[in-house]
Amino acid sequence: MAVEVVYRSSRDQGRLFMDKAEADRYDKMLELAEGLSDVLQKAVPSLSEKQVEDVGIFMARNRDLFARAFKNQPDALQEIEIPESSG
């Protein structure tokens, strides 16, 4: 019988990873998404909880491109891939 090591996300218990670094990156992304969601909810209270969560996760997943855009490279936002169901 073979033994397989898997890593579980500490923020999303249902998510399993084969690589510890990948699990850590995912948890950090979720942590950033949570922080962004908190700020968005305070800044735009009319957004629903789901909208705030979706936007927070979207921004966290694309943080590198947003960071470039905030550093005087607004064209970086053109590189963001938007899923068909969101567009």
Instruction: Judge whether 16 and 7 are in contact, CB under 8 Å.
Output: yes
CATH number for the domain harbouring residue 26: 1.10.10.710
State the Cα–Cα distance between residues 58 and 45, nearest whole angstrom. Answer: 18
For position 54, what pLDDT does the model report? 95
Residue range of the domain that includes 42: 7-79
Q: What is the pLDDT along the chain (87 residues), one digit of tens a residue?
A: 899 999 998 888 889 999 999 999 999 999 999 999 999 999 999 999 999 999 999 999 999 999 999 999 999 999 998 877 655
- Report if residue 69 sits inside a domain: yes
Instruction: Judge whether 53 and 79 are in contact, CB under 8 Å.
Output: no
- Report if residue 1 sits inside a domain: no
For position 86, what pLDDT does the model report? 54
Q: How far is CA 75 from the centre of its chain?
A: 21
Domain count along the chain? 1
- Report if residue 72 sits inside a domain: yes
Helix (H, G, I), strand (E, B) or coil at 35: helix
State the Cα–Cα distance between residues 68 and 71, nearest whole angstrom. Answer: 5
